[in-house]
Homo-oligomer: A and B are copies of this chain.
Amino acid sequence: MHSSDQHHHPVRVPPARPEINPLLVEVTRGAMVESRHRAAIAVVDVEGRVLLSAGDVERLVYPRSAIKPLQALGLVESGAADAFGCSDAEVALACASHNGEADQVAAVQAWLERIGCSDSDLECGPQTPDYQPALEALFREGRHGGALHNNCSGKHAGFLTLARHLKVPARGYIQWEHPVQQTLLGILEMLCGLDLRGAPRGIDGCGIPQIGIPLGNLALAMARFADPSDQPERRQAACARIARAMRDEPHMVAGSGRLCTRVLSATKGRALVKTGAEGVFCAALPELGLGVALKADDGTTRAAEFLLVQMLQRLKVLDDEAQRLLEADLSPVLCNRVGLEVGEIRLGSDWPFN
């Protein structure tokens, strides 16, 4: 894992790193492989040792929403969550890419009101929910999704809570220079073990900065979240608080029908997992003191989700009950529109961990 201080903001985006990641996921239909996904994955301990890896774990990736639990550290370790009486459900929402379900939206709204804000303070932009029952409920009332329905609204409520606590103007809290984002940058640098000020940057779907981080360092950050015993005391307490919130309020982290919620429930928090856009997935495994980070090259969620559960299985994080609860995720079947099984998702020929 390399330090990234040689990275600058180029005028022209350089080509992708030429390393070819392994074929880790295949999608079959009938008698053929129909599609295939390449990916990289890293399992790292708190010392930064790469215990298992496939593919280019030094390639820079944007963590996207997969580091929301780390971003929630800003809310908790600053004392903001306690000062504003945040519940576990609210801390879980700060870690969430939620479905925009009614209870999730209501919870974010109530939280914002309690800190003296409203949805007009959210800078994440509006979102029409992807979750169809939530969409149907909105459309039946003649409404569309707003900022509260944005899957990141809980994270943004956390950012606003932190801004309030820091007694800085909330407006512009998504900007790189804002104290909220600078606080999060400091946390991320410490957990990743990298100076990220010169790392390549982009802007996330919800407007916040995204920072290019080597996949292995992202896994290291998750390992340190899983086992923060070398971290400052306040951070240790914050990690434990966030882990508890994700474990006890799994619905708030994602929602109905979502893998993150299923895994958090099935493992009773032994796997603190979080999905990100463009095929990123992270997991912190407190009992093992390990972090997992993976990215599907092509950005597909189906590949990332499949790899995540396969790696949890490989690391023996899933007990019999969890395996039973996650059976459809461990052996995914594709059905067509009349409900017939037509294919499956399976490990690709380059999967090296059997």
Contacts and interface: CB of A to CB of B under 8 A. Distances in A.
Contact of A202 (B132, B205, B342): B342
A300 B38 CA distance: 13
Contacts of A203: 29-30, 336, 340, 342
Contacts of A140: 139-140, 142
B30 A298 contact: no
A16 B9 contact: no
A343 to B, nearest CB: 7
Nearest to A142: B140
Query: Interface majority SS on A: helix, strand, loop or mixed?
Result: loop
A347 to B, nearest CB: 10
A210 interface: yes
A290 to B, nearest CB: 26
A202 B35 contact: no
Contact of A15 (B26, B38, B296): B26
Interface in A200-244: 200-207, 210, 212
15 contacts: A9-B31, A13-B32, A15-B349, A16-B33, A27-B278, A30-B202, A37-B297, A37-B298, A124-B338, A139-B139, A202-B342, A203-B342, A206-B336, A297-B298, A299-B300
Given A30-B201, A34-B62, 18 more contacts: A9-B31, A15-B348, A16-B348, A20-B20, A27-B299, A29-B203, A31-B212, A32-B60, A35-B299, A38-B38, A38-B298, A125-B339, A128-B132, A135-B135, A203-B336, A205-B342, A206-B337, A298-B298
